[in-house]
Amino acid sequence: MGHGLAAVDIGSGVSAALIDQDRWRLRASLLVDNGRDEGDGPRLVGLPKVRSTLRARLGLGYAITQRWGLGLSVAQDILDRAGGAQWSASMGYTMPVTQQTSLNFGVGAGWGDKTFMRTHYGVPASAAPRSPLPTFAPDAGFYSIDAGIDAMTALHHSWVLFGGLHVAQLQGDARRSPITVRPTSFSASIGLAYRCCR
């Protein structure tokens, strides 16, 4: 929401800035992690329901230069609903087009602990009576890589137009999971934001 203004970008969601310096940024936030049930897809029939949960996330960012940046974050299930922990690492490059418009390029990777991997990509032996899928018990490890490009422009002091194109690919045990149908996914987004308190 701070794009196109002199102030530092404050991000979005329920978050708090713990450190906000020239090169370093540390933020804490709360995120809702949506679950799933067997009605979400034919391969999920007979598998245990993954309950929605709340994650506490801590994100650290470092600006290498004015255009290059690194990010590292960890998100932990704080309701003890077998959500486990996720780690992510990213690198981004910002290319100003005009004073009000910029393009942002980024790549990233995700890692999950054993609890996260088995909840989201595992097939427990207890599902055998109802699920035709073979038992699968993934280990902790890297489970995804992604890349994308985002564009943002300040149309006015109060309005920001943004959009992006992204590709993500599952890796390791997440890719080998019998639950996985399409290891590579593509997404596109566009939005318009209004800021009234700046």
Tell me the per-residue pLDDT of 161-192, one tens digit each, with 9 for 90 and over: 999 999 999 999 999 999 999 999 999 999 99
- Tell me the three state secondary structure of residue 132: coil
pLDDT at 104 over 70: yes
Sheet holding 101-112, edge to edge: 14-20, 24-33, 53-63, 68-77, 85-96, 101-112, 141-154, 159-170, 184-194
- pLDDT for 83 equals 96
The CATH fold of domain 14-194: Porin (2.40.160)
pLDDT at 7 over 50: no
pLDDT bracket for residue 50 (50, 70, 90): very high
d(CA 57, CA 55) in angstroms, rounded, equals 6
Question: Which pLDDT tens digit goes with each residue over 14-30?
Answer: 888 899 888 999 999 99
Token pair for residue 177? 């999971």
pLDDT at 198 over 70: no
- Tell me the three state secondary structure of residue 191: strand
Overall size of the chain counted in residues: 198
Question: Which pLDDT tens digit goes with each residue over 67-86?
Answer: 999 999 999 999 999 999 99
Token pair for residue 40? 């979400």
